[in-house]
Amino acid sequence: MIQSIRNIFEHNTRLLGEMDKAIYYFRGQQIDMALGHMAKSIDEVRISIETIISNRDYFNVVDTESMLEMLKGILEAKKNKDFILLADLLELQLINFLIGVQELIISKEEIDFNEDSYRDNIEVLLNHSEGLEDSLREPIDTAKLLESGYRVEFTSCGLMTLAAENDGCQFYFHTNSKIQTEAFLLAKQWSQRERKHYHIYGFGMGYHIRELLALDPQAQITVYEADADVIKLACAFTDMKNVFHSHKVKVIFDPKFARMDEMLSNPEKEGDLLVHYPSYKNIKENKGRELLASGLPWLETIEA
């Protein structure tokens, strides 16, 4: 992927996350929050459209006139403070347009593994984790991981999702669509303004951790994970610096669930254990599943 196309791709990925948050807050009449997310992004929308126009040979199926009309409508609705229409235009026009651009790029490009980025992510994670030194110093063997049932795929928003197999079933860790939105909604459900420390099982690709940190930047977040291969794949295909830049997040590699058992037995622990359900599905040992059941109160309903 050439650099100019990569820039558009990464730019649009960020835009999709911001615009979906703006829509969420507009729908809930939290207009100040919505406009805050729009303020970060409206100039980026212009830049994205201008860059696509300047690369029209690559984006030959994108209608330039309709793009400009879309931007004009968004700016006019914002000027008129018609926040119902503005949310509609963002959701039905801008989001669909950005996803179409992302899918066009994905159809023309391949997933690339950047060795330098992977090593940078490993170093960042080693500085914010316990128990991963031996696992992360080993070279990543993508062929072996694929044989074990792991699969990494592009999503329509431009981020990577992860699929795995356990107990004869395949499952995804994150949506194939708008990952930032899914992660934001889960983090929003978990977030508690008065809470100072979150204990979470399941790192996945780290998206839900990043969104929880954005919602509650002063809190400490401890993430327990039993599968080192999942963490390696996150290092290979996401940007770890976005998760650990604040030094508020710590990952504990806990394959025997001893550290988590110790934490759950502590009468002074703050709040309940939070569980990323796809990571729960990835657990191979009964002990781990039994420990985590307390964090999924609806589990009996679906496993009865």
- If DSSP states are collapsed to H, E and C, what string results for the chain? CCHHHHHHHHHHHHHHHHHHHHHHHHHCCCHHHHHHHHHHHHHHHHHHHHHHHHCCCCCCCCCHHHHHHHHHHHHHHHHCCCHHHHHHHHHHHHHHHHHHHHHHHHHHCCCCCCHHHHHHHHHHHHCCEECCHHHHHCCCCHHHHHHCCCEEEECCCCCEEEEEEECCEEEECCCCCCHHHHHHHHHHHHCCCCCCEEEEECCCCCHHHHHHHHHCCCCEEEEEECCHHHHHHHHHHCCCHHHHCCCCEEEEECCCCHHHHHHHCCCCCCCCCEECHHHHHCCCCHHHHHHHHHHCCCHHHHHC
* 32 contacts 140 by C-beta, under 8 angstroms: no
Domain borders along the chain are 3-108, 115-303
Q: Would you say 52 and 101 are in contact if contact means Cβ atoms under 8 Å apart?
A: yes
Backbone angles phi, psi at 193, to 5 degrees: -55, -35
pLDDT for 94 equals: 93
Q: Assess whether pLDDT exceeds 70 at residue 304.
A: no
240-268 pLDDT, tens digit per residue, is 888 998 899 999 999 999 999 999 888 77
Q: How high is the pLDDT of residue 175?
A: 97
* Pair type for strands 169-172 and 160-166: antiparallel
pTM of the shown model: 0.90
Q: Are 202 and 223 in contact (CB under 8 A)?
A: yes
Band the pLDDT of 130: cuts 50, 70, 90: very high
In this prediction, residue 1 has a pLDDT band, given cuts at 50, 70 and 90, of low
- With a pLDDT cut of 90, the percent of the chain lying above it is 59
Topology of domain 115-303, per CATH?
Rossmann fold (3.40.50)
Distance CA 52, CA 147 (A): 39
Amino acid at 236: A
Please say if the pLDDT value at position 63 is more than 80.
no
Could you tell me which residue, 298 or 87, shows the higher pLDDT?
Answer: 87
Q: pLDDT tens, 194-239?
A: 889 999 999 999 999 999 999 999 999 999 999 999 999 999 999 9
- pLDDT higher for 157 or 2? 157
CB 183 within 8 A of CB 157: no
Q: Is the confidence at residue 272, as pLDDT, over 90?
A: no
Q: Distance between CA 61 and CA 119 in Å, rounded? A: 37
Rounded CA gap, 50 and 302, in Å? 49
